[in-house]
Amino acid sequence: MQSQSGFLIFCAALVLLGLLAFFAGRYKAVRVRRAGASMYAQPDQYAWFAVLSTAGPAIFVGALGAFFLLLLDVSVPTFYWLAVSLAVAGAGLALGIAQVRPAFHARKAIERVIRGILALAALISIAATFGILFSIISEALRFFQLHSLWAFLTGTTWSPGASFLASAGRGDGGGAEFGSVPLFAGTFMITLIAMLVAVPIGLLSAIYMSEYAPGRVRTFAKPMLEVLAGIPTVVYGFFAAITVAPVIVAMAGWVGLDASYNNAVAPGVVMGIMIIPFISSLSDDVINAVPDSMRQGALALGMTRGETIRDVVVPAALPGIISASLLGMSRALGETMIVVMAAGMRPNLTANPFEDMTTVTVRIVAALTGDQAFASAETLSAFALGLVLFVVTLSLNLVSVLMIRRFREKYRVNNL
């Protein structure tokens, strides 16, 4: 609570000092100008420079103090911390006022500061990526200290149950097995089903919209597909579990198959439908970017419209289509809510899509929503799984970006 009130005092003092800097700076600048000196900048700009030189260093020092306080557990007394940062603010104020002189380029100085602030903001997005990498890798390393990497990648049994007892102080953690093969098998099975639904429907829809559809249909169909992309995944998950899964079970029953209610088909199909718009909109753009001269050439040779599309347009657009499919695939691999709600919890190594099977993301959620100590092997295993997921989706994305770049260079398209 003390640091909170300290923070409030700091903010209030800074605002007051900033106001003081602004009006004092402007007053002095106006006076200097009235005295007849020709200045490089407007009074307001000198005033803003004074504000920046007051607030900037003080905020920096304050943030540094908070950083030490939070991270390194150095108990800097709030009073000293406050006093030092306010002293810095005062010094900045004095400097800002002193800089109000005709030869000083206040506008350029402001420009430099703002440029620095903007670059700092751009760095935050890099920090986010490194934050993800750092957090996942460091926790995954802790996991691999407990269990071997080789067993993790090639083991066929996933039974983290015993590690729970170990973290509770009973048992020694022996018997817990973290073989991720069944999880990846389940993930790839569901992804495969999703792609079997999404690629044909998405690609054919894109072909229809770019090659056949009259403008009226296009203006209606494009938003319709975008609605599919805008539905939250938790809603898809509910739909898959409550509505689609019983339908799949009934349909499997007609052909004499025995399907589980947590079968892989229901989440796979629903996930495929979720991915359709990703594939169709990018494929649509790519097909539209294929130069018309190629279509005209093919038609002039006497090819029918269908042959032109099949033998000329689609092959030309293939890098873009593959790239769209890879993007869709990386979405399917990382999709969480649909499988958490509609797929099973039991790691199951099987090729039968009507059995229940679990995925990587389901296990991540399961490992992190229990009431376990953070350092338990099961919790850490979530980060190991996350690391693999990160590597796989990142490489899919990179390949996809490279393919689309090749397409763009080949046809000199700029808006993809």
Touching other proteins, residues 228-267 (CB under 8 A): 228, 230-235, 237-239, 241-243
Q: Please give the residues from 161 up to 180 whose contact with other proteins meets the rule CB under 8 A.
A: none
Measured from the CB of residue 403, what is the shortest distance to other proteins in angstroms?
14
Question: Which of 29-37, 123-131, 155-163, 256-264 is the region at the interface with other proteins (rule: CB under 8 A)?
Answer: 123-131
| Residue 154 tokens, joined | 């090639």
Strand partners, 177: 159
In Å, the largest CA–CA distance within the chain is 99
Does 135 bind other proteins (CB under 8 A)? Our answer is: yes
Binding to other proteins (CB under 8 A) within 3-62 occurs at none
With binding defined as CB under 8 A, does residue 225 bind other proteins?
yes
**φ and ψ at residue 146, rounded to 5 degrees:** -85, -40
60-99: which residues touch other proteins (CB under 8 A)? 70-71
Task: Tell me if 107 contacts other proteins by CB under 8 A.
Answer: yes
Among 161, 200, 246, 291, binds other proteins (CB under 8 A): 200
Residue with tokens 């006022």: 97
Which is nearest to 382 in space by CA: 397, 369, 395, 371?
A: 369
- Number of residues counted as binding other proteins (CB under 8 A): 89
Least distance (Å) from other proteins to the CB of residue 128? 5
268-287 residues in contact with other proteins (CB under 8 A) are 273, 276, 280
Long-range contacts of 139-143 (CB under 8 A, 24+ apart): 139/380, 139/383, 139/384, 140/380, 140/383, 140/384, 140/386, 140/387, 142/375, 142/380, 142/383, 143/178, 143/377, 143/380, 143/381, 143/383, 143/384
Cβ 386 vs Cβ 363: under 8 Å:
no
The region of 20-28, 32-40, 49-57, 392-400 touching other proteins under the rule CB under 8 A is 392-400
- Report which of 286, 316, 284 is spatially closest to residue 298, judged by C-alpha positions: 316
Phi and psi torsions of 158, nearest 5°? -115, 100
Give the list of residues 6+ apart from residue 238 with CB closer than 8 angstroms, or none. Answer: 341
Q: Which is nearer to other proteins, 5 or 154 (CB)?
A: 5
Shortest distance, CB of residue 61 to other proteins, whole angstroms?
A: 19
Give me the least distance between CB of 409 and other proteins, in Å please. 16
Give the number of other Cβ atoms within 10 Å of residue 309's Cβ.
20
Near other proteins by CB under 8 A: residue from 9, 11, 117, 402: 117
Among positions 337, 343, 357, 377, the unique one binding other proteins when judged by CB under 8 A: 337
User: Looking at beta carbons only, is 1 or 351 nearer to other proteins?
Assistant: 1
Q: How far is the CB of 64 from other proteins (least distance, A)?
A: 15
Given a contact cutoff of 8 angstroms between Cβ atoms, the answer to whether 331 and 361 are in contact is: no
Q: Is 145 in the site for other proteins (CB under 8 A)?
A: no
378 binds other proteins (CB under 8 A): no
